[in-house]
Chains A and B, each alone.
Chain A
Amino acid sequence: MAEAQAKTPANAWLMGLLAWAVPGAGHFFQGRWVRGLVVASAVVGMFLIGLLFGGHLFGLSGGGEGSSALLQLPPMIANLGSGILYLLCWAGNTGFSDAAEYARRATFEYGNTFLLVAGLLNYLAMLDAFDIAAGRKS
């Protein structure tokens, strides 16, 4: 395992980090324009649709008593996959509201699903960018 890690170029880790931070960037920096464009459009599009639908972004600072706050952790990890989109919303306190009127919207759960899957797709794209940079994928 240590041998496999030693063979992974530092560039691959950088590309992975870049792909997470800015959707599509990991592919753009490796000259995979079409792949990067598809990933960026899909992730940003899904994220924006999720917000427009009134979806909820999860954070650890949400309500809940005792260990129930830990229930926020898995969806937060999925949301965090959107990289800078999540961080911008966090900085602007957009989409984190726990107010009941948001949850009453008919599209609330659709919005949640779009936001969660946007992050998960970006994790997938991040692994793809890493593999390309590491030479494991063409």
Chain B
Amino acid sequence: MMLFAGIVALVFGVVARETLRDRVLYGLKVFAEFMGIGLALAWLLYFLPF
């Protein structure tokens, strides 16, 4: 999941923003969103009984 999120965040950052600073910030934001939502869903599914 980290590998997937890292690669996708890299491409999103490079394609969607123009300056280096904006790219890094946007890439980190996308990475954090992927990881956060992924982990939240994983814990949610863990507690579901079915």
Which A residues contact B (CB, under 8 angstroms)? 34-35, 38-39, 42-43, 45-46, 49, 113-114, 117, 121, 124-125, 128, 138
Contact = CB atoms under 8 A, between A and B. Distances in A.
Interface string B1-14: 00110011011101
B35 to A, nearest CB: 15
A113 B4 contact: yes
Contact of A38 (B4, B11, B18): B11
A138 B7 contact: no
B7 A125 contact: no
Q: How large is the interface on B (under 10, 10 to 19, 20 to 34, 35 or more residues)?
A: 10 to 19
B42 to A, nearest CB: 14
A46 B7 contact: yes
Nearest to A43: B11
A45 B7 contact: yes
A47 to B, nearest CB: 11
A49 B8 CA distance: 14
6 contacts: A35-B14, A38-B14, A117-B4, A117-B8, A121-B8, A124-B11
A101 B7 CA distance: 28
A72 to B, nearest CB: 23
Contact of B15 (A45, A114, A117, A128): A128
A125 B15 contact: yes
Given A34-B14, A113-B4, A114-B4, 15 more contacts: A35-B14, A35-B15, A38-B10, A38-B11, A39-B11, A39-B14, A42-B11, A45-B7, A46-B7, A49-B3, A121-B8, A124-B11, A124-B12, A125-B11, A128-B15
